[in-house]
Structure 1
């Protein structure tokens, strides 16, 4: 491009929260080019740079002027736009006004013998520097934040107060105004190492000036610095650092000049359960724990500092003091909790409200115990395991009122497991307490054995049923109680374990327990909502796994309510139609044809003596399919049921090719329709193939 320059725009702020910054970075990559394109400013590549204290956009090859534009709009036919005397009608006047022109400016143009009126509007080239103040201010307003604030005396809102702005087109300052500030050519450096202000001579100099002021301007570059520093510490110590993605992302966006350093804590604290130590470091302080060659937690950890590396000793000492205080608290709470048997905490669950209308966590515990017993009985679980399930269900939430969990909430369940072991509870009970929150997210492992699986199912189903009963079901945009995640957890457990239980019957049992506890609600309506909720989750999972929507609908059309039955049948049907698509396409068409002709009121009692050879062949095939399908469904052999249906293809094809169903003789016609009714009925409990024929 000729006569172009670089555009640099920086919004300087107080520290923006880490995850908000990550989202803002993604938004800017779309907002900036869109804003320039909207006013036809020719430009080159847009690059985005962000740190906790700044959002920067650098645009290459920005032209000095927009392109001149001729806009041509076709209007109504001239015969409509003008009357017989050549005067403009309301149609012409309205068309011209809509294009910002006088009616006299409209042109007439002939198109294939028909004359139309046209509006031609010339938009002259404009100086880009004059457009940019409004364009860039619009970019600021266009950033969406989860939470915003006001500051000073202006009404503008941003994630954090805006403290400075730089806007340069080449070496020309663009006077962008926002929140009482006017953009200039002075930026700020690292808050402590090179605060500034630092003058920027031109747009091309903004990044070099920022980098020279101890600022690493991109998330990718800061991540590389952190990973290289961590790797160096790992080599020096022979240990391995744990860098969870979420915490790493946060640390990347908490510093402008990151420097990994290593600290230590008193080895005495290693007597505290590892999960508390890791929680204290990762969740509370954003430190990364180090593990030895055997995978055992050490008393060393990694700090990512935003301070002056020349003062490493001071920085490490300060962070060691902080982590020591946190670990001292953890050890104190842990030691105090161990003085009381875990079971003694259960009654104290009355101090914790589960949900206002559903009572306390003690009430929830009682319901989970009852529902666990119902599931255990339905699944035919052995007596010894029944006792362990009942005990695990009773103790599962007890650690919520322990000192350690009150202080370190992310270790709920885990601490209960430690306390259960210390109190002499069976190992499987302790493990179930630790695992009953699983799966906590998509892809997370389910509880490892049936004790934890039953308690997890009971806990999640109780939560879902209770909240639906009090009108707290998820909406399209809100799911504050994470009920979708709980439902997916239930489905994952049922899918992976194959526990022989009915989810619908378990939902019924849960609702009965709530009614017995005095909760009033419309049982039929709530029951329907919950079943539909689970079915919807399973439908989404099946579609994500590649099962076609019409396959799912075909199975659901048979009145399926059990998600696991839906899953098994939909997968089998999808596999069958994929393996032999022609057979199932023909079956779908044949079923749809028969279904369209059937007259339910006639019944299926046709006269076999009056059947032709072709009709008798179809009748025999239908009779055989009925028996085979019924037996297969009784024994959960859905694939075999589909094979039995596939055997109907040849006789039904021959029937339709050779037989006039709607015969002029009413008795013949009725007999054939009854045969088709029986044919269609074979599909009733398998799938509605008519759904698959709708393409």
Structure 2
């Protein structure tokens, strides 16, 4: 009879940032193991706390299903001699299947009489399989570095102390990571530091709750959010709950208790980002803001105990955070004494890449390229150049050396302190945007230009020294840089020729890049190929992008407009027929020694169908030309969709390759004009499915 099965592995405190992924991987491994073993069940429930990983398998079958296995053997005429006695072939077949010859039968498989071995398979007891299933799942966990403890050779992410394996109400006899299974867990390290006997799986969650351990991560997470928000509300503020920090704190406590502390208001003179970074990274505190979004001199911490004197716990946390914030204040005041422009000289001693010079050299190139882009689009080249020069200066400040997440942010505050233009200052922060897929983009033009120039400089530099990404290896983050650059150009409506930009960027590297033309070609191809992934995420078919890519355009903004237009066209009822027609025309024209002239002689149009098509093509050429000039590609393709009927009729009724050379050439010229209308946007023949 089916029953629930409980597995719990007790450990030293597990790495908080990895707890969720460890639990997910364990559940996946167990699910896979159950499937391979053929054990039926009604699903898994997974639980985790700082000192335990647990799985409940619901309604686990007591054994694998029993089924009959039929194995066909040699033909009867080979298995038996003329007197009906079994031959060596029969004996070998019987032995292979663990049977006596007398247990074999002779049956016809539709072609001949053959020996048959029929046996029952399955029926393995679940209790005998579970140990191997969990051992295998634990061995496959994504643990970068395993550790040993004591005199054992056993390895795991942390030392293990207890093992619970209970099926129904019985303990499953197994050994995992050197531990023998039982039914005793452990409660909270301080509130209930004693054994907890688990009668069965269904008792698990509540039994552990009674021992001050909330094993359900989702429940703990929700409780933390509720408590943190309540604490913030009590001081008239709003808690800012970062998802990553929330996950980490959830993995740090078994019994969460939120408490509010405070720090001296003088620290609010320090950039809020530095205070927040210090509180979150070092102490795992949530910060609080007022109704205007301004940082309050408070923090919310999660204790792992219900203290009889919470004031003492709060005081301890306040004592711990004070020197951290004092350090931040000291760094801030110290850094302000040296202008960013003076800090910049220190970048000369920091290598960006051995063959590409120092970070100072990189800022020179960024400034030059950003100014060139600004001049081309009518932006302020002076601001772009200044922002480029200062872009990395804060990397050598005390603040950033202590809080690496402050790069760019510290530069913003120091630039304002130095009296730099506000847009220049803001660009120092915005240069790193977007940081990841879906991240926000710079708000200022100068910030956009610096972000673009920085990425292009890195891309051409790394390609230029022959270290382009291969396979899954991308140490300089060129995929992310390429997508970021494309987003900046497309979403910020910057209509520039990417090839020309890359040429300018390559030129700035001077002799560092030995093969400039090859570098531009490779970098351009690589960046434009990133569009594929971009459009795949937006559910745009690959052939749509390829239809546009066939044009060989290197203006990302224009490429995007064409792709969106072709995607809209591909969804129209007329698209399939027109794509097929374009493919047919392309095949016809590709076989010619020379392409037909563009002119169509109307006097040579003899068939009604070709007259109608010629008239329609001429009319559409007039109507779509201004649309193309305005880059209204979607409107142009929508106009051309009405050509379906005359095109279909033309191919149904007109012989293109007529014997009369003048007729043939005239019809080919007409088809050339037809295809040219579509080719002004993309090669839509690529939308037609390939035969084969």
TM-score (norm 2): 0.90
TM-aligned CA deviation for residue 116 of structure 1: 6.1
Cα gap change, 1:623/1:349 in structure 2, threshold over 3 Å: closer, same or farther?
Answer: same
Matches within 5 A, 1:147-546: 147-381=145-379, 385-514=380-509, 516=510, 518-546=511-539
TM-aligned CA deviation for residue 643 of structure 1: 4.9
**Which of 108, 122, 125 matches 2:123?**
125
TM-aligned CA deviation for residue 81 of structure 1: 7.7
Report the equivalent of 1:58. 56
Report the equivalent of 1:571. 564
Distance 1:206 1:674 in 2: 80
TM-aligned CA deviation for residue 405 of structure 1: 0.9
* Cα root mean square deviation, aligned: 3.2
Matched, 1:601 2:593: yes
Moved more, 9-18 or 349-358: 349-358
Per-residue Cα deviation, 1:295-354 (whole angstroms, up to 9, x for no partner): 221111100112342242232222111211110000000000011111111111123332
Distance 2:229 2:477 in 1: 37
Report the equivalent of 1:592. 583
Cα gap change, 1:131/1:551 in structure 2, threshold over 3 Å: closer, same or farther?
Answer: closer
Moved more, 150-159 or 403-412: 150-159
1:96 touches 1:106 (CA, 8 Å); kept in 2?
A: yes
Cα gap change, 1:613/1:209 in structure 2, threshold over 3 Å: closer, same or farther?
Answer: closer
Cα gap change, 1:690/1:403 in structure 2, threshold over 3 Å: closer, same or farther?
Answer: same
2:147 touches 2:159 (CA, 8 Å); kept in 1?
A: yes
Cα gap change, 1:124/1:388 in structure 2, threshold over 3 Å: closer, same or farther?
Answer: closer
Distance 2:642 2:202 in 1: 75
Distance 1:89 1:504 in 2: 78
Q: Give the secondary structure class of the aligned counterpart of 1:405.
A: helix
Moved more, 649-658 or 326-335: 649-658
Cα gap change, 1:345/1:67 in structure 2, threshold over 3 Å: closer, same or farther?
Answer: same
TM-aligned CA deviation for residue 489 of structure 1: 2.0
Q: Give the secondary structure class of the aligned counterpart of 1:313.
A: helix
Matched, 1:686 2:678: no
Q: Give the secondary structure class of the aligned counterpart of 1:498.
A: coil
Cα gap change, 1:499/1:665 in structure 2, threshold over 3 Å: closer, same or farther?
Answer: closer
Distance 1:537 1:17 in 2: 35
Report the equivalent of 1:22. 20
Distance 1:133 1:637 in 2: 65
TM-aligned CA deviation for residue 653 of structure 1: 3.0
Q: Give the secondary structure class of the aligned counterpart of 1:310.
A: coil
TM-aligned CA deviation for residue 111 of structure 1: 5.2
Cα gap change, 1:251/1:611 in structure 2, threshold over 3 Å: closer, same or farther?
Answer: same
Q: Give the secondary structure class of the aligned counterpart of 1:309.
A: coil
Distance 2:205 2:255 in 1: 14
Distance 1:278 1:648 in 2: 62
Distance 2:382 2:203 in 1: 72
Matched, 1:561 2:561: no
1:167 touches 1:174 (CA, 8 Å); kept in 2?
A: yes
Q: Give the secondary structure class of the aligned counterpart of 1:500.
A: coil
Distance 2:665 2:98 in 1: 71
Q: Give the secondary structure class of the aligned counterpart of 1:364.
A: helix
Q: Give the secondary structure class of the aligned counterpart of 1:507.
A: helix
Distance 2:469 2:184 in 1: 49
Distance 2:667 2:78 in 1: 64
TM-aligned CA deviation for residue 23 of structure 1: 1.1
1:602 touches 1:674 (CA, 8 Å); kept in 2?
A: no
Distance 2:657 2:96 in 1: 60
Per-residue Cα deviation, 1:657-682 (whole angstroms, up to 9, x for no partner): 22222334566545544543454344
Cα gap change, 1:363/1:202 in structure 2, threshold over 3 Å: closer, same or farther?
Answer: same
1:464 touches 1:486 (CA, 8 Å); kept in 2?
A: yes
1:198 touches 1:209 (CA, 8 Å); kept in 2?
A: yes
TM-aligned CA deviation for residue 411 of structure 1: 1.3
Distance 1:199 1:473 in 2: 58
TM-aligned CA deviation for residue 407 of structure 1: 0.5
Distance 2:202 2:657 in 1: 83
Per-residue Cα deviation, 1:412-436 (whole angstroms, up to 9, x for no partner): 1111111111111111111111212
TM-aligned CA deviation for residue 577 of structure 1: 3.8
Q: Give the secondary structure class of the aligned counterpart of 1:559.
A: coil
Per-residue Cα deviation, 1:271-315 (whole angstroms, up to 9, x for no partner): 111111111112222101111233221111100112342242232
Per-residue Cα deviation, 1:348-383 (whole angstroms, up to 9, x for no partner): 1123332333222111101101111221122132xx
**Which of 602, 606, 609 matches 1:612?**
606
Q: Give the secondary structure class of the aligned counterpart of 1:418.
A: helix
Per-residue Cα deviation, 1:111-153 (whole angstroms, up to 9, x for no partner): 5676566543322634433333323322322333344334445
Cα gap change, 1:332/1:509 in structure 2, threshold over 3 Å: closer, same or farther?
Answer: same
Distance 2:293 2:97 in 1: 72
Report the equivalent of 2:134. 136
Distance 1:98 1:296 in 2: 79
**Which of 32, 35, 40 matches 1:34?**
32
Structure 1's unaligned 5+ residue stretches are none
Q: Give the secondary structure class of the aligned counterpart of 2:423.
A: helix
Distance 1:25 1:106 in 2: 49
1:168 touches 1:185 (CA, 8 Å); kept in 2?
A: yes
Distance 1:199 1:32 in 2: 24
Moved more, 195-204 or 313-322: 195-204
TM-aligned CA deviation for residue 607 of structure 1: 7.9
How many residues align? The count is 685
TM-aligned CA deviation for residue 654 of structure 1: 3.3
Structure 2's unaligned 5+ residue stretches are none
2:26 touches 2:138 (CA, 8 Å); kept in 1?
A: no
Matched, 1:582 2:565: no
TM-score (norm 1): 0.90
Moved more, 61-70 or 352-361: 61-70
1:11 touches 1:165 (CA, 8 Å); kept in 2?
A: yes
TM-aligned CA deviation for residue 456 of structure 1: 1.0
Distance 2:667 2:447 in 1: 57
